[in-house]
Chains A and B, each alone.
Chain A
């Protein structure tokens, strides 16, 4: 079942630019420029892109916060802005930078207030809260006012707050931003459990690609308001030529360069004692066999492609 159905989605903003001492010119900028997206129930989708690419703007149109300039949007079969309050019951939202919690009240009270705001039956509320309390270890700080929580604790609170009404779709806008390593792991572990449970469709935007590698099978990359990639992580590596590398350490420099079709020398260092090859079509095995025939090898390592590199290349393109 398609939970999120987006076709030709656009959002134009008018910005005023200084054009002379007093004059300002209005210019229209497309923050989202024709995005198509279909997300099936139970998917966990990574939605990434550089700053200003249109990620958050897309999310805001999907959640009914912003009115699209053009295009077709349905979330849970509802048009977000006109059906905003009805949709709100069926989705959960965590904006990393904006809290859903009551700043001066104990975390526990925020949960109780949200139960009423979303009209969740007391028994459902208790069951879910119990589940999240254990998974996210909330009891340690549930009685503290939110303003006294660490960022990591607060984010665990935000996740619970977004899920207590049992939403069908969860939108996460940079849920790991600013978290320390331990808190990041806690949040990722929790999201992995949520994905494995399979009841909730999740759309996750992040700048931390480790989030994506750990959690998302499918990745949508957006740049300048357009989708530039939609598929698995592996597919992204293939498409953007991210290559595995073989780094060899030799006992002596090579007398003549070793040439193998499908492998190129990336760098030579340590006076010719360390050579790094990038693999296109050649296998690591073929390359090593070839090298072993002409030189004595001290050490070999195979380096997997780095998603950060791929994405950086993608953003620059």
Chain B
């Protein structure tokens, strides 16, 4: 009878999938669309290497691995947390009221109720891409590196997810926050597809280290390839992705808690 909390969320996700299945044709079109979009990002990397032999001091196979890890991480985050960008509509229209009167956490409810199954295509594409990139890079896969290869996209997804949530909370203060959140999330994804060495001074400090984007693709790829960091950080940095991701998730959760208290709702 009494389900566990996870089972309740599973039912909410299933309900959303059934709802989407009502619009089958558009679902299939969108499924293909998301795969196409994901492949465009990787294509950009290929294009760059048609004109340059190396980018930021790294050859194709290294950058391809970074891009693959980043694409896979982003796809995972987009599937599970990406729908949070709809929070703007919830806040603006006051729909969040209906969410808050249920005996469940507001954030997990929103995520479960708005999950977009079409984004599964992108995740499958991302996983395949990591496989291809790992093969192309001829990685020397020790058991530890195997583990790192598997954990990295998940940690990256948690980091992207944290940034999705934290930037979405802006909507509580600033309803016309427009594409502010998208600039951080999608911008972050594009940024993580390249080695951090290509970015300069302040920009690198803020985005690579401040927001943690260097830990999505760049440092784990260095560790997987057994390379030294031209920026001078020790080898262990490549293994810190999960730590950074959990820290970011903690910050995002606090931001969410504060934000929900700021919720003003709308008239009637």
Complex contact A65–B97 (CB within 8 A): yes
Of B1, B15, B95, B103, the contact of A102 (CB 8 Å cutoff): B15
Complex contact B268–A56 (CB within 8 A): yes
Complex contact B19–A103 (CB within 8 A): yes
Bound CA span A173–B101, Å = 13
- Chain A residues 49 to 63 lying within 8 A of chain B, measured CB to CB, are 51-52, 56-57, 60, 63
List B contacts of A132 (CB < 8 A). none
Q: Is B267 an interface residue (CB 8 A)?
A: yes
Complex contact B19–A64 (CB within 8 A): no
Complex contact B104–A85 (CB within 8 A): yes
A-B contact pairs, 17 of them (CB 8 A): A51-B267, A65-B100, A66-B264, A66-B265, A85-B105, A88-B102, A88-B103, A96-B268, A97-B94, A98-B98, A100-B101, A102-B19, A113-B15, A116-B11, A117-B12, A119-B1, A121-B1
Known contacts A65-B101, A119-B3; 10 additional CB pairs below 8 A are A56-B267, A60-B97, A66-B265, A88-B102, A98-B94, A105-B19, A116-B3, A116-B11, A117-B12, A117-B102
Q: Is B135 an interface residue (CB 8 A)?
A: no
Bound CA span A242–B20, Å = 55
Complex contact A98–B7 (CB within 8 A): no
Chain B 47-65 near chain A by CB (<8 Å), digits 1 or 0:
0000000000000000000
Of B20, B104, B268, the contact of A97 (CB 8 Å cutoff): B268
Complex contact A109–B104 (CB within 8 A): no
Counting residue pairs across A and B whose Cβ atoms lie within 8 Å, the total is: 88
Min Cβ gap B98→A in Å is: 5
Number of B residues, CB within 8 Å of A: 29
Q: A residues bordering B, Cβ < 8 Å?
A: 13, 51-52, 56-57, 60, 63-67, 81, 84-86, 88-89, 91, 93, 95-100, 102-105, 109, 113, 116-119, 121-122, 145, 173-174
Complex contact B2–A99 (CB within 8 A): no
- 6 closest A-B pairs by beta carbon, nearest first, are A104-B19, A88-B103, A93-B101, A65-B100, A98-B98, A85-B103
Bound CA span A51–B11, Å = 38
Q: Is B86 an interface residue (CB 8 A)?
A: no
Q: Is B18 an interface residue (CB 8 A)?
A: yes
